[in-house]
């Protein structure tokens, strides 16, 4: 029951951050909130709780040398699936934060990449990388310094 509640709360918890980045990207509050790491703390704590309570000695051994069948068996458990989902929420939000902050820094359009990242994190990140590349290559090739895409600042 607690895993279901954490799953449901996690889904709701991330929505205001995505809304700030997508719908109010220029608002000072959005930038201040997204520059902070604090939004990740509750999710990371929920993940820690679920991880610790879902990993047993048997599946820890199986996960230490992962095979697809073992991973599938692990995630067949509801608590393990909630753990994986919170993992996705944290990392997708972190990738979205990166996209947002880079967009603020470089002026590159990010709404499409953020929306995609909300639903499929790696695809949103790839979209942002491609959008950045296209904008630098074709839209403003002269006089633009290339930012360090490895930095989220």
**Residue 131 contacts by C-beta under 8 Å, 6 or more apart in sequence?**
108, 109, 110, 112, 113
Residue 141 has pLDDT above 70, yes or no: no
In a domain, 148, yes or no: no
pLDDT for residue 146 = 54
In a domain, 153, yes or no: no
Q: Which SS3 state, helix, strand or coil, does residue 76 take?
A: coil
Give the number of domains in the chain.
Answer: 1
pLDDT digits (tens, 9 = 90+) for 69-123: 988 888 899 999 999 999 999 999 999 999 999 999 999 999 999 999 999 999 9
Q: From CA 100, how far away is CA 105, in angstroms rounded?
A: 9
Q: From CA 142, how far away is CA 43, in angstroms rounded?
A: 42
pLDDT digits (tens, 9 = 90+) for 26-58: 999 999 999 999 999 999 999 999 999 998 888
- Which range of 58-72, 120-134, 135-149 scores highest in mean pLDDT? It is 120-134
In a domain, 58, yes or no: yes
In a domain, 144, yes or no: no
pLDDT for residue 127 = 98
In a domain, 7, yes or no: yes
Q: Which has more confidence, 40 or 147?
A: 40
In a domain, 147, yes or no: no
**Mean pLDDT value across residues 1-29:** 97
In a domain, 152, yes or no: no
pLDDT for residue 153 = 47
Long-range contacts, stretch 37-46, CB < 8 angstroms, 24+ apart: 39/93, 40/90, 40/93, 40/94, 42/13, 43/10, 43/13, 43/14, 43/86, 43/89, 43/90, 43/93, 44/90, 46/6, 46/9, 46/10, 46/86
pLDDT digits (tens, 9 = 90+) for 99-112: 999 999 999 999 99
In a domain, 38, yes or no: yes
pLDDT for residue 150 = 59
Q: From CA 1, how far away is CA 23, in angstroms rounded?
A: 34
* Domain boundaries, position 129: 2-139
């Amino acid at each position: 029951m607690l895993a279901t509640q954490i799953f449901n709360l996690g889904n709701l918890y991330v929505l205001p951050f995505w809304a700030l980045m997508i719908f109010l990207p220029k608002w000072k509050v959005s930038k201040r909130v997204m520059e902070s790491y604090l939004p990740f703390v509750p999710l990371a704590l929920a993940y820690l709780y679920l991880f610790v309570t879902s990993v047993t000695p048997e599946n820890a051994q199986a996960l230490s040398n992962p095979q697809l069948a073992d991973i599938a068996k692990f995630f067949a458990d509801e608590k393990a699936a909630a753990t994986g989902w919170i993992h996705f929420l944290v990392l997708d939000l972190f990738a979205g934060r990166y996209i947002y902050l880079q967009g603020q820094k470089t002026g590159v359009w990010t709404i499409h990449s953020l929306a995609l990242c909300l639903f499929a994190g790696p695809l949103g990140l790839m979209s942002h990388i491609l959008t950045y590349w296209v904008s630098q290559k074709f839209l403003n090739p002269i006089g633009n310094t290339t930012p360090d895409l490895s930095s989220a600042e």
